[in-house]
Chains A and B, each alone.
Chain A
């Protein structure tokens, strides 16, 4: 790059100096060749004119001499004198005029046709002219009487014939004098004119040879100029080539670069040259000439825009240092809403980098580099999600470690069964609304049971997922018209819950393998089926679950409770799940509705701590009897009736005509709850309905007895062998 630049500047410099040399050559061509050439050619043309002139006047002396001789001859022959005299006069006049031209030369301009006399303006020709003039002036006086002579020089007499008269005689004397003088003058004039001719000739030759040299020099200079011009032209071509190549490279860079590149001027206007990627990033083609504000308008929030505008203005201040530019850049990673190609808007994350461009230490532009960092941001979010997920898994793990293994195994099996059942129910074909409602109720009960148990075991992640599932189910339940498509989102929720349960199951399996290999190689892996759990373990798990649920809910409600379990061991395995579900619901109900707060109990003369008694009795061939009893406030028949009327299960008239037994029966209706608000433990009206359902499925009978202020007791009679499962429950 630097090399390129130096080459460039060198080329610039040499191009400039070549131009100077060409200019100098041009000036010297004019000064050394053209002007002297013009002078010399003027000289030559003057000399040539003078030579011609001299050539012309050289005949005058001879004509004069001849004229005079002819006059003399005619005079002596008494002939007619006028023709030779005219010849003499003409010659004298010619010489007069020639001398006048020679002595008073008119200097002619450069471009006038040169006068013959101009050549005589300088020595030695002027001197020669003066010499001729002096002699001619002197000798011309002698010629004057001859020239003036016009009379008739003869007189005729008979005797002598034609004789000279007086004037003729005088003329003859003057003529003789003139002839005499002319004998000296004419050679003198000849000689002088010859000399002048020779001088002019020499001068002409000299000028011509000088002109030749000048022309040669001119040719040389012209050749030099031609050479320099060709060098300069080729240098210019090279330079243009470089400029074109540089422009091409710039265009290639701008076309190819992935980032959006553009320059901002001091008015925050985007320059004409920007990278092609810029259009793609902003989904518009009219970026050149926009202001920075116009570019961002509508794609970033107003506040970001105003901060960005303040920031780009700050960039022009010399006070703002480079590092500061980076650290306060509000567009370092900015979310933008861009019109997508298929209409609508799409969210992208862009990164703007700002670099100040200086020319001669002055900030002239700001180079802005924009890149799409959506993928990077998405990855960062994904990583964050993964981190959160692993944190949640860790929390779950810690939760699992706190749960008694047998209870956990039993919970996982039960939940698995519940999930499978929900799946079957969802798949089952149904057309009428009543059927949908029944399906919904069944699913609700199953999810509710899982949630309750998870809560009991402190498995909060499962509990919250189940709770959210329940929320959806409840929303669906409250909808007036149900259709099959509305069940579709439930599948997703079920899948979520199922996956979560599965991950816990995997975790537990891995943990148990760890434990097996670490301390007890013969210990059975848990969570892989109930068959590996022996009866004792199962019973204690059942009891543990019930107690745990009770304690947790009691703590949450600020109540105190003691759970007594008697004879759970006599239960056959087939009833265990059902009994657990029933017990969990009953315990929950007792704590929410039955057992009072400690102070209330004390005021009523009871122990501060409530008791829930759960007992199973083996009745031999008659089967089993399960009793669940609490020493709480008992059931309020009135309250049950009021709730039933409010929830439109029954009309006021029906309510009025109901006895206690019928009223208690309302408890087992789906959606019935007397709790005032919905929370995890009660209020959804599921609990007792689930109990009734479970009992019914096993072919059992459910009874309820209560004494207000004393107790509530549920008795469940179960056949020796459980009835065939309800069609919904077949997994």
Chain B
């Protein structure tokens, strides 16, 4: 599931899925200080599934409303590919119904947009605990 870095601490691999470039960059930036290593960024569900197969991340942040393949379908696919993947749904409050659906399909957490770095880290911590 993880590989140890030189300091001996286990690093987890993170994939960011969001059609917004800005959000992707924000999550990526805020994760530089965490024990998560960003291994892939995807702009839609289809890309996410491809990259997931290649990079095998442990944790995924998932937008819900995306072109090509939406978040709910993508969550379902990723969980089929690897049942112990941890998925944090990152979406607007108005998407609550969709978020519930994503959780039903196997996502593990929900973070409401807009979010602060602190909220993001708290959500990821809770996910990993």
Which A residues are closer than 8 A to B by beta carbons? 303-304, 306-307, 310-311, 313-314, 319-321, 323-324, 327-328, 330
Q: Does B108 contact A (CB under 8 A)?
A: yes
B103 touches A330 (CB 8 A): no
Question: Given the complex, which residues of B lie within 8 Å of A319, measured CB to CB?
Answer: 106, 108
Q: Which of B4-12, B25-33, B37-45, B92-100 binds A? A: B92-100
B110 touches A327 (CB 8 A): yes
Q: Which residue of B lies closest to A326 (CB)?
A: B110
B31 → chain A, closest Cβ, in Å? 20
Q: Which residue of B lies closest to A306 (CB)?
A: B97
B127 → chain A, closest Cβ, in Å? 8
B108 touches A328 (CB 8 A): no
B114 → chain A, closest Cβ, in Å? 14
Question: Given the complex, which residues of A lie within 8 Å of B111, measured CB to CB?
Answer: 327
The answer, among A314, A321, A323, for a CB contact under 8 Å with B100, is A314
Question: Given the complex, which residues of A lie within 8 Å of B112, measured CB to CB?
Answer: 327
Q: Within the assembled complex, what's the spacing in Å between the Cα atoms of A51 and B100?
A: 96
Question: Given the complex, which residues of A lie within 8 Å of B103, measured CB to CB?
Answer: 314, 320, 324, 328
B126 touches A303 (CB 8 A): no
Q: Which residue of B lies closest to A311 (CB)?
A: B100
Q: Within the assembled complex, what's the spacing in Å between the Cα atoms of A310 and B96?
A: 11
Question: Given the complex, which residues of A lie within 8 Å of B106, measured CB to CB?
Answer: 319
Residue of A307, A323, A327 with most chain B CB atoms under a 10 A cut-off = A327
Q: Within the assembled complex, what's the spacing in Å between the Cα atoms of A108 and B49?
A: 93
A328 → chain B, closest Cβ, in Å? 5
B2 → chain A, closest Cβ, in Å? 20
Question: Given the complex, which residues of A lie within 8 Å of B104, measured CB to CB?
Answer: 310, 313-314
Question: Given the complex, which residues of B lie within 8 Å of A323, measured CB to CB?
Answer: 126
Residues of B within 8 A of A (CB-CB), count: 14
A328 touches B96 (CB 8 A): yes
Q: Does B101 contact A (CB under 8 A)?
A: yes
Question: Given the complex, which residues of A lie within 8 Å of B108, measured CB to CB?
Answer: 319, 321, 324
Question: Given the complex, which residues of B lie within 8 Å of A313, measured CB to CB?
Answer: 104
A690 → chain B, closest Cβ, in Å? 49
Question: Given the complex, which residues of B lie within 8 Å of A307, measured CB to CB?
Answer: 96-97, 100-101
Question: Given the complex, which residues of B lie within 8 Å of A311, measured CB to CB?
Answer: 100
What secondary structure prevails in chain A residues at the interface with B?
helix
Please, could you name 17 A-B residue pairs with CB atoms under 8 Å apart, sorted by A?
A307-B97, A307-B101, A319-B108, A320-B103, A321-B108, A321-B109, A323-B126, A324-B108, A324-B109, A324-B126, A327-B110, A328-B96, A328-B99, A328-B100, A328-B103, A330-B96, A330-B100
A334 → chain B, closest Cβ, in Å? 11
A268 → chain B, closest Cβ, in Å? 14
Q: Within the assembled complex, what's the spacing in Å between the Cα atoms of A463 and B129?
A: 60
A523 → chain B, closest Cβ, in Å? 49
Binary interface profile of B, 33-66, with partner A (CB < 8 Å = 1, else 0)?
0000000000000000000000000000000000
Q: Which residue of A lies closest to B95 (CB)?
A: A328
Question: Given the complex, which residues of B lie within 8 Å of A306, measured CB to CB?
Answer: 97
Question: Given the complex, which residues of B lie within 8 Å of A320, measured CB to CB?
Answer: 103
What secondary structure prevails in chain B residues at the interface with A?
helix
Q: Within the assembled complex, what's the spacing in Å between the Cα atoms of A320 and B108?
A: 6
Known pairs A321-B126, A324-B103; A303 contacts B109 (CB<8 A): no
B111 → chain A, closest Cβ, in Å? 8
Question: Given the complex, which residues of A lie within 8 Å of B110, measured CB to CB?
Answer: 324, 327-328
Question: Given the complex, which residues of A lie within 8 Å of B96, measured CB to CB?
Answer: 307, 328, 330
Q: Within the assembled complex, what's the spacing in Å between the Cα atoms of A330 and B96?
A: 6
Task: Kindly list 14 other residue pairs between chains A and B, CB separation below 8 angstroms, not including A307-B96, A324-B109, A327-B112.
Answer: A304-B97, A307-B97, A310-B100, A310-B101, A310-B104, A314-B104, A319-B106, A319-B108, A321-B108, A324-B110, A324-B126, A328-B100, A330-B97, A330-B100
Question: Given the complex, which residues of A lie within 8 Å of B109, measured CB to CB?
Answer: 321, 324
A318 → chain B, closest Cβ, in Å? 11
Q: Within the assembled complex, what's the spacing in Å between the Cα atoms of A319 and B108?
A: 7
Q: Within the assembled complex, what's the spacing in Å between the Cα atoms of A303 and B98?
A: 11
Q: Of residues 102 to 129 in B, which have CB atoms within 8 Å of A's CB atoms?
A: 103-104, 106, 108-112, 126
Q: Which residue of A lies closest to B102 (CB)?
A: A328
Q: Within the assembled complex, what's the spacing in Å between the Cα atoms of A306 and B98?
A: 11
B28 → chain A, closest Cβ, in Å? 23
Q: What 4 A-B pairs come out closest when comparing CB atoms? A: A307-B97, A311-B100, A327-B110, A328-B110
Q: Within the assembled complex, what's the spacing in Å between the Cα atoms of A323 and B89?
A: 13
Q: Which residue of A lies closest to B89 (CB)?
A: A328
B104 → chain A, closest Cβ, in Å? 5
Q: Within the assembled complex, what's the spacing in Å between the Cα atoms of A330 and B95?
A: 10
Question: Given the complex, which residues of A lie within 8 Å of B101, measured CB to CB?
Answer: 307, 310
Q: Within the assembled complex, what's the spacing in Å between the Cα atoms of A324 and B127?
A: 10
Question: Given the complex, which residues of A lie within 8 Å of B100, measured CB to CB?
Answer: 307, 310-311, 314, 328, 330
Question: Given the complex, which residues of B lie within 8 Å of A330, measured CB to CB?
Answer: 96-97, 100
Q: Which residue of A lies closest to B96 (CB)?
A: A330
Question: Given the complex, which residues of B lie within 8 Å of A314, measured CB to CB?
Answer: 100, 103-104
Residue of B100, B104, B112 with most chain A CB atoms under a 10 A cut-off = B100
Q: Within the assembled complex, what's the spacing in Å between the Cα atoms of A44 and B54?
A: 98
B118 → chain A, closest Cβ, in Å? 14
Q: Within the assembled complex, what's the spacing in Å between the Cα atoms of A304 and B126?
A: 27
Q: Which residue of A lies closest to B109 (CB)?
A: A324
Question: Given the complex, which residues of B lie within 8 Å of A324, measured CB to CB?
Answer: 103, 108-110, 126
B100 → chain A, closest Cβ, in Å? 5
Q: Within the assembled complex, what's the spacing in Å between the Cα atoms of A277 and B60?
A: 43
Q: Which residue of B lies closest to A309 (CB)?
A: B100
A296 → chain B, closest Cβ, in Å? 14
A399 → chain B, closest Cβ, in Å? 33
Q: Within the assembled complex, what's the spacing in Å between the Cα atoms of A8 and B99?
A: 44
B58 → chain A, closest Cβ, in Å? 16
Q: Within the assembled complex, what's the spacing in Å between the Cα atoms of A304 and B97?
A: 8
Question: Given the complex, which residues of A lie within 8 Å of B97, measured CB to CB?
Answer: 303-304, 306-307, 330
Q: Within the assembled complex, what's the spacing in Å between the Cα atoms of A319 and B127?
A: 10
Q: Which residue of B lies closest to A319 (CB)?
A: B108
Q: Which residue of A lies closest to B97 (CB)?
A: A307
Question: Given the complex, which residues of A lie within 8 Å of B99, measured CB to CB?
Answer: 328
Residue of A306, A314, A323, A328 with most chain B CB atoms under a 10 A cut-off = A328
Q: Within the assembled complex, what's the spacing in Å between the Cα atoms of A314 and B101?
A: 9
B1 → chain A, closest Cβ, in Å? 17
Q: Within the assembled complex, what's the spacing in Å between the Cα atoms of A311 and B111?
A: 16
Q: Which residue of A lies closest to B91 (CB)?
A: A328
Q: Which residue of B lies closest to A323 (CB)?
A: B126
Q: Within the assembled complex, what's the spacing in Å between the Cα atoms of A157 and B109?
A: 145
Q: Within the assembled complex, what's the spacing in Å between the Cα atoms of A660 and B88?
A: 79
Q: Which residue of A lies closest to B127 (CB)?
A: A321
A265 → chain B, closest Cβ, in Å? 20
Q: Within the assembled complex, what's the spacing in Å between the Cα atoms of A330 and B100?
A: 8
Q: Within the assembled complex, what's the spacing in Å between the Cα atoms of A327 and B97?
A: 12
Question: Given the complex, which residues of B lie within 8 Å of A321, measured CB to CB?
Answer: 108-109, 126
B97 → chain A, closest Cβ, in Å? 4
Q: Within the assembled complex, what's the spacing in Å between the Cα atoms of A310 and B107?
A: 13
Q: Within the assembled complex, what's the spacing in Å between the Cα atoms of A313 and B108?
A: 14
Q: Which residue of A lies closest to B98 (CB)?
A: A307
Q: Within the assembled complex, what's the spacing in Å between the Cα atoms of A314 and B109?
A: 12
A307 → chain B, closest Cβ, in Å? 4
A532 → chain B, closest Cβ, in Å? 53
A324 → chain B, closest Cβ, in Å? 6
